[in-house]
Amino acid sequence: MITVAIEIIRASWQVFYESAVYMLLGFFIAGILYVFIKPETIGRYLGGGKVRSVFLASLVGIPIPLCSCGVLPAAAGLKRQGADNGATLSFLISTPETGIDSIPLTFALMDPIIALIRPVAAFITAVVTGLAENFFTRWNNSSDNFSQFSCSDSRDCGCAATVVNPGEPMEKPFLSKMVSGLKYAFVDLLGDIGKWFIIGILLAGMITYLIPDALFESYLTNNFISMLVMLIAGIPMYVCATASTPIAAALVLKGLNPGAALVFLLAGPATNVASMSVVSGLLGKRSLVIYLGSISICSIILGLFTDMLYNSMGISATAVAGQAAEIIPHFIQMGSAVILGALLLFGLCRAYSRGPNLFVDIRKKQNTI
């Protein structure tokens, strides 16, 4: 038993070691984006028209570094500022499915092709869902129900970072903005998703050690069936874009087809019990059906396209997975792993000392809907 635990930790460390430098790069860019892009400043553009608002919300959501908990109050802010239901759903999908922090990680642990396909697929899925919502349901600009999902915690946290504090000056010096952005990225945001990233790393280590190399080749030879399995596994699971990446990479190394991995990367972060409860309680059951149906259909179609692309190019996703990390010198990878480990430890200790986070509060509020 001890030997198994040691081997799992060793495999998890290898994944962490290879991804650390890309994680730091992603969080650095996330901090820069935080300085210049805030959901509340874009809300005014997302209420006009059934098409334009959806495209803008989908596009805006892709780079914004918000996890599945942080996107709920951010989407509530958009809704309160006049965003229509389609735009709100689009933002709820494109934001957690991908992010500027998860794209470099996908490049490191998987390959450049899936790193490029992932944000494009997230955009397409969000657009299709938003358009379906706006064209098949009656537009409703009421935002009373969304008010309960704003962050009630006045203390500094990653989720509350999207809420404007009326007491703060509207303009800050550039240096102050940069410091604030980096603090948000490496303290608040990292603290919010750190636990889930560690869980994802440990699950990747367990998959690497415990699952036989020929499992998918022996029992899931049909690519379409593999996609359905990943869809069913991903829909109820709470896993953010960052944490889902090492899990998908480990499955690909065990023979999972890249299309099924993409299905998991899309369905896992976008759909979970919390987000489904929010959509059902606040937008209605019809919106929930559109939300789940669009994500499921788009994920499968895009997964089939991904498999066709890999096959046409003659590329094996299993053979090329993780090769991008090999170009980084050892001392840079080791230094990045140490720095990221220290930041994760600090963020987790800070989050623990602050008590329950917003996601827990939202879950509690959902039970009262």
- Tell me the residue type at 101: D
**82 CB burial (10 A radius; 0-12, 13-18, 19+):** middle
Lowest mean pLDDT among 46-60, 135-149, 153-167, 281-295: 153-167
Average pLDDT score over residue span 237-245: 77
74, two tokens: 């951010």
- Identify each DSSP E strand in the chain by its residue range: none
Longest C-alpha distance within the chain, in Å?
61
* Predicted confidence (pLDDT) at residue 27 exceeds the cutoff of 70: yes
Q: How many CA atoms lie within 13 A of 358 on its CB side?
A: 30
Buried residues in 353-367 as b, exposed as e (16+ CB within 10 A): eeeebbbebbeeebe
What would the mean pLDDT of 232-252 be, rounded to a whole number? 82
Whether residue 149 has pLDDT greater than 50: no
C-alpha span between 294 and 179 (Å, rounded): 39
- Could you state, in order of their start, the residue ranges of all structural domains in the chain? 2-366
Looking at residue 247, its pLDDT comes to: 86
What would you report as the CA-atom Rg of the chain, rounded to the nearest whole angstrom? 20
Highest mean pLDDT among 61-65, 69-73, 192-196, 311-315: 311-315
Please check the confidence at residue 46 and state whether its pLDDT lies above 90.
no
| Cβ atoms of 37 and 60 closer than 8 Å | yes
Burial class for 147, CB neighbours closer than 10 Å (0-12, 13-18, 19+): exposed
Grade residue 305 by pLDDT with cuts at 50, 70 and 90: very high
Average pLDDT over residues 249-278: 84
Instruction: Give percent of the chain with pLDDT exceeding 70.
Output: 71
What gap in Å lies between CA 282 and CA 284, rounded to an integer?
A: 6
Hey, how many other C-beta atoms are within 10 angstroms of the C-beta on 122? 28
Whole-number average pLDDT of the chain: 76
Give CA–CA dist 197/206, Å, rounded: 14
